Structure 1
């Protein structure tokens, strides 16, 4: 991106250089068709950082820098911003009645982990290797067609075809719970009939799978009292994010910013 097309900006008289914005832009995703969007998002992020630092300095905040990991400490400015937000953003979770209403809208979302006992045949293929992946898919189709005619051959094919170590156990993966596998495989375990070979191939980052779910026990809906701490934590986090956004928006409204229209930044 050209610095001529995306110039420096100023925030309350402080210049944020085009080079600084370009460096920050590496941290902001944007569609290839919109190369300027990452730049504008980066400029907005640096403008926000500047107004927060200025406000922290006005308040005389000079907190101790926290150690982020062994031997690595936050910057003075990051410590000031952290202290400022801790001072001005004070929120709590919604009351229990509101959280109860949230729970009641979709209690199925709050379940104990499901249990699965699947078996599979894996035709390994790197997602980035289109030729190898197509060959794996073609072979998986052939084997699945054979298994539709003679499902008892699953063990034979698992031992002779599978690229997974489970081949030595006839393709059995043992007992799995929700979250143990990649999402696309878990979705297939939920959709597959129990005790029969799934009639669709399962495409994951590891390759192409033929799946058989031998046992499945769906997790029970958890009572409100059990999920209340989770709901409170999520509510407090959401409320904090909104309050922080509103506070920052107020600072930006009062700031003298030139070189970018922040209201136009998505």
Structure 2
């Protein structure tokens, strides 16, 4: 993070109140190192996030020591991470949501559980660098002219694609094939997936230039039955309950501890990073 990289320990170490947990100091250099993992608009905000994360970590490690826990270190984690994982298994329950809760969530969020909308589209790309304003203005004007031609002669799309398009799809009459959301750049997707079948009367602008688009087919997404998404819903709700349980657990530890120099915030999100 450029904001943090440009600041040395000597520049900042004396600017913040010392942080400690039950008398155990959180080293300021460690906080500064942790700041690189917490994006923020200001140094102060990044410091707050980093210090909070380290306080949560220290609370967990102190509790693990109090319980005399031991942990097997798994691949990709260190001893401290293994202890925290073991502590959470021991002290934070992860109840599975019941069927009624899953069904309620399904009924309240049915728009999330559909097959993807599919489209078949063809385009003529008039390429223009996003930094070349003159080229983009020319491409926009050229697009209007080609659209006017297509309105009069819709069957000329393939020939015009071969003549003008800067996309390799011109070799197949401009056809992009079947598309679903997530397969094209966002600015193109936002506009094309709103279209109904037929020729768009205005060019679609993207980072690549201007697209003359014809929507050849549109198949709306269909609702999925509950039994096809029940496991996904159960996993999601279980994760949400677990996150809340962690937040409550950390709040309990913090309430029983003597923490100086900071008020920890967003403990659950910090821990899950």
Q: In which range does the TM-score fall when normalised by the shorter chain?
A: 0.7 to 0.9
Map of 1:4 onto structure 2: 14
Cα drift, residue 123 of structure 1: 4.5
Distance 1:26 1:52 in 2: 22
**Are the aligned partners of 2:140 and 2:203 in contact in 1 as well (CA < 8 Å)?**
no
Map of 1:60 onto structure 2: 68
TM-score normalised by structure 2 residue count: 0.83
Pairs within 5 Å for 1:212-223: 212-223=214-225
Unaligned stretches of 5+ residues in structure 2: 1-6
**Are the aligned partners of 1:147 and 1:154 in contact in 2 as well (CA < 8 Å)?**
no
Unaligned stretches of 5+ residues in structure 1: 69-73
Map of 2:194 onto structure 1: 191
Please, what is the CA RMSD of the aligned residues? Answer: 2.5
Map of 2:37 onto structure 1: 27
Q: Secondary structure at the match of 1:4?
A: coil
Cα drift, residue 207 of structure 1: 5.0
1:50 matches 2:58: yes
How many residues matched?
254
Q: Secondary structure at the match of 2:37?
A: coil
Distance 2:70 2:134 in 1: 62
Cα drift, residue 169 of structure 1: 1.6
Distance 1:49 1:231 in 2: 30
Distance 2:95 2:201 in 1: 47
1:39 matches 2:42: no
Cα drift, residue 114 of structure 1: 2.0
Distance 1:198 1:218 in 2: 22
Distance 2:127 2:18 in 1: 49
How big is each residue's C-alpha offset from its partner over 1:32-78, in whole Å with a ceiling of 9 and x where there is no partner?
xx33101101000010011111111222222111113xxxxx11000
Q: Secondary structure at the match of 1:111?
A: coil
- Summarize the Cα distance change of 1:264–1:58 in structure 2 as closer, same or farther, 3 Å threshold: closer
